[in-house]
Every structure is written in structure tokens, then in C-alpha cells.
Amino acid sequence: MTIPALRWFASLCAAALLTFAPSASAQTGKRAEGLWSGVLTISSSLSLRIVVEITRQADGSLAGTLDSPDQDSFGAPLAAIEASDTALAFTLPVAGASYAATWSSEADGWLGTFTQGAQSWPLTLRQLDPEQRPQRSALPAEWQIPATDVLTPLLARRIAARPGAGFVLGISENGARRIVTAGPEGSPEFDGDTVFEIGSITKVFTALLLADMTLKGEVALDDPVETYLPAGARMPRGASGTEITLRHLSLQTSGLPRLPDNMPYGDPADPYADYTEAMLLDFLANFELPREVGAHYEYSNLGVGLLGYALARAAGTDYVNLVRERILDPLGMDDTAIALNADMQAHFAVPHDEYLRAAKPWNMSVLVGAGGLRSTASDMLTFAEAAMDPASPIGEAMALTLSERTDQITTDYQTALGWFILPAPGGEVLNHSGGTGGFRSHLAVQPAARRAVVSLTNAAAEPSAPDLAFHALLGTPVVPEADIPPAPEPAPEREEMSLSREQLAPLVGTYRMANNARLIITREGDQLFAQLTSQPAFPIFAEGPRAFFLKVVDARLVFTGEGETITGVTLYQNGAEVPFERID
């Protein structure tokens, strides 16, 4: 995502931009506690107020939320909060974003950078008087889904300055359907049969598979995940020896990170494609959980992808066949799949990235259960109607997914098995969003009112699909459109050279930035990897004995020192030079 879709829930998007986060114990950082506010200037036409609240929990850890009042977004939970007296960092899983800052006595606040996808903006946070905190707008009590001639101009406005982008809004009210469309300009208009990647909405399907297999006695929610791994494979455990269960994976309370740190990113435009089963098992065998299993929620593509993998193994099949046999075929969802048949391929929308450049479809590989499905508005309405019908083929499984809930810290919404749940007039709303390299999607279902909305678009530019889905269903505000940022210059062609293990060995170590961020350089065979605090490990490639570059982003690392003694490294990215000193 490229403009903070803060109300809306997390997508698959793999942030490739390196960001800086302080490495400080969560037991420190008293200065960070409290209420903070700032203004995020996205463009000349769009500025967003931001409010951050950070609190100390009973176990001494830090928790927090982020509000974006101008988007009517409140209580988005923060994760990976790290703070010291001089540095603050956190991630915002629901928007695939992060923030890193240092304390400024002169500004009397945190001077930092808010990063989302491939873009960054300065953000200064200063203390806010609680009495001045903006409050959520009240939702209309008797909202009716607008007529098609009211919604169509909203869709048209959303894609007006987005060449190649189109939009489909599917609506179901008491079983009556309609499809509202706009664009793409100069091409046949999208319709209810246009195929989109639905990204993380796949997690809802994976949760239903878990519920179905539990009801059939094939697995149990509290089965250890390790039970379903290949012989000899192992899962990380909590400090007290607690095992991660299937329930933990679906509730996303396992303690596993958003992404594994050993993804090769062989093709940054298709970041999951090269991630193999062997890599997954190797990561699990060596990862140390940062907290106790079940301690709190943290969005994890890795965790739900692992759940899909484990369920397929338990069923003696693969995920593709499992979801087809248990959900898609019983519901007659013939235009929902992972691999496209010829007819679906003919109706597949051309994906576009946040700069409106043609993008690649994503191959989720072994983590397919986290976001590999493609579908249409018509099929997703079939699914939504089945989700609201206790007598449908998925009725019992739906009931089980909703019976398992966790409250989000300091927010008024919950997570269930696969779903996010929002309180609203007319009854709670079950919802999930999705995002891949060239698509955005949102599904919102209100069973008590017997209505549902699915929104689908073939562009990663923000604002995208969620606000229009919520507006149609609940009457929430529509986010103002923003200018599409200019695409970055292509990375220069660099010639890769081979270095011996003896040449690589002196570079391995830990390096520290001024705000305490750590850069860890490791080696596997003839390959070096660089990992910044709270980021995955990325392979780096030699262009000289001490000069390396990354392929996932346009960035370079140049090591410094005398002779074979390496004393530091400088990161060159986005016109900035960031020095790190060696500390090991």
C-alpha cells in the first residue's frame, strides 16, 4: 500500500524498502509511552493527521494503536514496538507500514520516517493532550446501500487518473445481487466475471478449511503444528516450551513474524515465488520466538501460509485440491482458483503497481494458503451469501470460525479464525482485505442485515478497495483520491562478481547505526545476506571486494576498514548515506 489505508486490514504486500528500527528492549522506552500526534503529508493535495498511543502492558511490553482521523480510521494495532530514550520504532501490520524515529529535544518530539511499500514520508510526532484527541465519526444508524447511479461516479472518480485501472463493486442484499463497475478506460469494461487476485482474503478460506477438518475430526484446533510437518522437522517453541497449535496460526497469535527472513526474493516483482518447502522448514527449525506463544495478535502471512501447508499435509493432498474439494466445488465457485484455466485467463485483469505500471501476477508457492486465490465479484458474492447462511455447505464451519475470537488491544474490534470483526449499526461486520503486487480487494459481510459488499481493483495505488466497500455497506467516508507518485528511476545495471569465502568472511558481523538500529551480515556458502532490525534478510551481491548491492531495491552497501579489519559499512539508498559502525 502506498497511502496509509489505516482502517483496512492487512494485505500480502512484501515491503522491499529497507527501513531503520531501533534495537532496544521493550522494557525500556518510558519516554515513548503516551499519546502522540503528527501530520503525514502524502502529496500537495493530501495530508493526514496521525495519532499514536503507546502503553505499557502488565508483562512490561509495549502495545499501541494508530488513528488516522481524516480517514475515519481508529485503533489500528501496532506491532514490533521498540523504544529507548532516544529511538522509537513500530510496524503497522494492517497497512504493511513501519515507523522509525529518533528523539529531538529541539523539536520536543520524535523525528522519523513513515514507510509503506516503496514510499516514505517524514513524520514528526509530538505529545498530544488526551482532551484534544480526535474522535471517530458516528456511523449512520439506518444506512442503506446506495443506488447504482450513486456508486458508479465514486468508482469512476477512483480510477479517473489511473490509466489501465478498473473497479468492480459486487453487492448482495437479502440475496438480490448487483454489480457496479467502472473502467478500464480504452478497454472492455470489467464485469462480474473479471478475474482478480484476492490476496489475503484467501486467509478466510484457509480458516474455513481448518474449521471443516476440525468438525470432521481430521484435526483438532489445539493440535501442535509440528504434528503435521515432515518427519524430523521442528517448530519453534515458547520460552516455557509451549507449542504452536493450528489455532494459534489461524488466530495469528503464534509469535511467528509477518514474513520469514530467508525469502530469496529472486524476483522482487513476484516475491513469494522462489520460497520453497525446504526454506520454510529450515526457517521454522532455526527461528526463536520473540515472545510466548499466544501472548498477543500479530498479523503473519507466514503463519497462515504455514497453516494451509499443514492442513494439506493432514489431508494427504495439496492446498489447491483441498480448497477446491471442501469449499469451491460445494459452493459452485467455478471462477475461483489458484492456477487459471483458459477461460479465467481470458478474463484476468491486467495488474498494475502503485505507480500504474504493469505488474506481475503473484505465485505464492508454499505459502499459498496466505494469499494465492484468484476470483471474481460474482463468485465472491456466492461465497459471501454462503457465509451468511447457516444451512449452506460452509455454514457449520463458518460458525466455528466465529466462535474463536481475540480482542485487539485498546480497540473495539476482534479477530476470529480468518476474519476481522467490526461492531457496526445493524450488526457486526466480518471482513478482510487483500493486496498483491497489482491488485487490491476487500470483502465485508454483515450477516444480521443479510448484506455483503466485495470491492476489487487491478491497481495497487491507494486509496483502493476497502474504503469504497465500507462506504457502500456502512456509510463510512470515502477517502480523497491522491496524485499517483512518479515511478522511481530504474535501478542501474550492475555487474555481479564472484568473491571467495575467504574474501567474504571478514564482512560477516553486526553493525550499529546512530539510532541503535542493527545491520547483521551473515553468510551461507558463497552468499552474503543483510538484515536490518525488524526486516527480512536480503541477499547482497558483490560488485567489488567491499561493495555490494541489493536486487530487491536500489541500494548498495560499502564496507570500510584497514586491511582485513572491517570497521563499518555505509548503506546508500534513496540519495541517503547511512553509516553503521561494527560492534562485534
Segments making up each domain of the chain, as ranges: 30-130, 148-474, 501-582
**Distance (Å, rounded) from C-alpha 75 to C-alpha 7?**
8
DSSP string, 335-357: T-BSS--HHHHHTBPPPB-TTS-
Cα four-point dihedral sign 388, 394, 395, 396: negative
pLDDT of the residue at 534: 61
Report the top-level CATH class of 30-130.
mainly beta
Q: Record the cell numbers describing residue 543, joined without a space.
A: 560488485
In SS3 terms, 73-111 reads as EEEEECEEEEECCCEEEEEEHHHCEEEEEEEECCCCEEE
Identify which of 536, 518, 524 has the alpha carbon closest to the alpha carbon of residue 583: 518
Residue 409's pLDDT is 56
Quick one: pLDDT at residue 408?
66
Give residue 44's region: left, alpha or beta (phi > 0; psi -120 to 50): alpha
Residues of the chain with pLDDT under 70: 1-29, 44-45, 94, 96, 117-119, 408-412, 514-517, 534, 574
Return left, alpha or beta for 112; rule: phi > 0 is left, psi -120 to 50 is alpha, else beta. beta
Question: Counting Cβ atoms within 10 Å, is residue 584 exposed (0-12), middle (13-18) or buried (19+)?
Answer: exposed
The answer to whether the beta carbons of residues 168 and 192 sit under 8 Å apart is: yes
- C-alpha–C-alpha distance, residues 96 and 2, integer Å: 9
Question: Which run of H or E residues covers position 210?
Answer: helix 202-215
Cβ(15)–Cβ(115) below 8 Å:
yes
pLDDT at 118: 55
What pLDDT score was predicted for residue 514?
A: 61
> Which CATH architecture best describes the domain 501-582?
Beta Barrel (2.40)
The three-state secondary structure class of 243 is strand
Contact 580, 553 (CB under 8 A): no
Q: What per-residue confidence (pLDDT) applies to 181? A: 98
The C-alpha cell that represents 154 in the structure block: 465514486
CATH superfamily for 148-474 is: DD-peptidase/beta-lactamase superfamily (3.40.710.10)
pLDDT at 6: 36
Model pLDDT, residue 224: 98
Q: Do 148-474 and 30-130 have the same topology in CATH?
A: no
Alpha-carbon span 273 to 266, nearest angstrom: 8
The grid coordinates listed for 417 are 479464525
